[in-house]
Each structure stands twice: as C-alpha cells, then as structure tokens.
Amino acid sequence: KKMNNLFIFSIVIGLCIGVSNAFHEIGESKVVLSNQLEHSKLLKVHCRSKDDDLGEHILKIGQDYEFTFGDNIWQTTSFSCQMDQGPNFKHHQDFVAYETSWSKALEASCKWIAREDGIYFSQDGVPPTKKYQWDGPH
C-alpha cells in the first residue's frame, strides 16, 4: 500500500514537471537590442523583468545583444530595458522592451535599434519605426 502511494505520487510529480516544461517551452520569445549609432559610440543596455536582472552589456557599433525566454503561464511576462548612449552615456531611454500581450501567438521577436535620432522598434521582421527620442543628460 505504502509503495503504491509512493509510485502514484512519483507519477503525479513527473507529470507536473512535464506539463510545466511543456508550457515553458511552447513559446520562445526573443528580444534583440542593436547598436546602429554613429561615430564609434558605445551603447550600454540593461534589461530586467520582475524575476530576472540580465545585467549591463556594452555594445560596439554593429553589435546586437539578444535574449530568449518562455512566456510565463499567466501571460504576464514583461521586460523593461534602459539604453545609454556613449561615450559619456549622457543620453538614455527607459522603455518596456517586451510584454506578452503584444503577441497573440506564443512566439514573438522584438528588435530595438539605437540610432542617432532615437530608438526604433521592429517586431517579427516588420520595418522598424521610431518609438523614442533620446532623453537628455541624467
């Protein structure tokens, strides 16, 4: 009897882990941050969600930083990012880089492009549109 209960418990736990992994892997979303500035300017990017801080990354012109993730089961995944324009990182912008609700599908690819005149956004290969001006010195 005791062995039977342990066996059933193990099966239930295994199924829960399998279902959890399946949900996590259903939709893999991607955010790409791209430095298309001029004059050899560096771009500092820092992204975070409620659960994860991805740290600061310095991009040279032409470089991208990307991260992938699975949307959570409650469809509340959100990442915000800050971009700072070098060399002195005086010009910056904070923005929401990804929200689950943007995409009805379970997969989305969002690209944010830093250019001299502002920050541009493209989703799933659509031509980029300007979304933000650079803010002035901190």
- What's the helix, strand, coil split of the chain in %, to 5? 20, 45, 35
Give the confidence band of 5 by pLDDT, cuts at 50, 70, 90.
low
Residue 19 has pLDDT above 50, yes or no: no
CA distance 38 to 4: 68
Cross-strand pairs, 118: 115
Report whether 31 contacts 66 (CB < 8 A): yes
Q: What is the pLDDT of residues 46-77, one digit of tens each?
A: 999 998 999 999 999 999 999 998 877 777 88
The predicted structure's pLDDT at residue 8: 65
The predicted structure's pLDDT at residue 86: 86
Q: Which is nearest to 42 in space by CA: 89, 3, 91?
A: 89
The predicted structure's pLDDT at residue 27: 65
DSSP state of 52: -
Give the confidence band of 21 by pLDDT, cuts at 50, 70, 90.
very low
Q: pTM higher than 0.85 for the full model?
A: no
CA distance 123 to 125: 6
* H/E element, 10: helix 2-26
